[in-house]
Each structure stands twice: as structure tokens, then as C-alpha cells.
Amino acid sequence: MDHEANHDNLILTTNNNKHMDNTRVYRMSFARVYPLYIQKAEKKGRTKAEVDAIIFWLTGYSQETLQKQIDNKTDFETFFAQAPAINPNVSKITGVICGYRVEEIEDKLMQKVRYLDKLIDELAKGKTMEKILRK
């Protein structure tokens, strides 16, 4: 199975039974999905450093603290719960990711997951880092 398609199945697809789907996403290991973010970016000529910069901007993690989350195989729920500081400019992240308007997602944890998906998607689509990081 194509890793990008696998990533889309793991993170981006949802169904009408949001509680079950969200729980599945929350329990998913960030370490399992992180390489898929990098692969998606690299397929489009972008870099791991850019993926990391997006994660740092969104969550406040540093290279060292991000690596600890990866080494610990932290799930998405814990990854975002332990994030040092969600960027105050996340409200500037707008648009649709897999049929969902990110700014309208009511579940705050799922919204953070979708923010990350949206930013990685923008990277893969060729947006400049300045625009992605809402500068």
C-alpha cells in the first residue's frame, strides 16, 4: 500500500461516527505517522527540516523534545497534550482538509491534528514556509 494513501487513511479520513474515529486517531502513534509526513513532503521536493519547522511552529516542541516524543512512541492525544505551546496564530489556519473546514472543527484535539495535516498538505502543495507559518 502506498504510504501516502496509508497516511490519508490513518489521519485524514473520517466518518459519521466521530467518537470512534477520533479515538482511533488519538491513540495512533505520532512516531508511526511522522515518517509519512516527511515522505509526503519529500515526494514534492520539500524537506524533513521544513516538516520539523512546521511541527515546532505549531506545537512549541524543539528538535530534542520532538525526538523524545518520537522515541517514546507517544500517541497523538499525548503529543498534543504535552506540546509546550500551541502557536497563538493557529486561528489563521483555514481551509478544507479532506472535506472538513479546519476552523470549524469543534473537537479541539481533532482540530489540532487537522491543523498539522493541513500545514503538511500546504507544504506538499508548494506553499512558501512564510505563508505556511502565517507570518
Parse the chain into domains and list their residue ranges: 3-132
Q: SS3 of 96, please?
A: strand
Select 3-132's CATH number: 3.40.50.720, 1.10.8.290, 3.30.160.100, 3.40.630.30.
1.10.8.290
pTM: 0.84
What's the pLDDT at 1? 38
11-28 pLDDT, tens digit per residue, is: 444 334 444 467 777 788
The full DSSP string for 53-80 is HHHHHHH---HHHHHHHHHTT-BHHHHH
- Angstrom distances, CA of residue 35 to CA of 99, 105, 135: 24, 25, 26
